[in-house]
Amino acid sequence: MVNHLLLGFLPSGSEFIILALLILLLFGGKKIPELMKGLGKGVKSFKEGVNEAKDEINKAKDEVEKPAETNEKKE
């Protein structure tokens, strides 16, 4: 039920056009490419951080599993 309530507040097609026009008026045509470039760099940095965290989690998992495998082989 909560999801249905949240969907009611999302902008539709015409509202996206109004938002785009407001952004264009507020920032101007010259600043928008700079804003998008900064946004792209931020997203790229976030993805790199997520991938690094996944790699570290997988390394820790492998290190925990390796001693268990060597103990099983000895027995």
Q: What is the pLDDT of residue 2?
A: 56
> What phi-psi label fits residue 2: left (phi over 0), alpha (psi between -120 and 50 degrees) or beta?
alpha
Average pLDDT score over residue span 19-35: 86
pLDDT tier, 12 (very low <50, low <70, confident <90, very high otherwise): confident
Residue 73's pLDDT band (cuts 50, 70, 90) = low
CA atoms of 13 and 37, how far apart (whole Å): 25
Map out the domains of the chain as residue ranges: 2-74
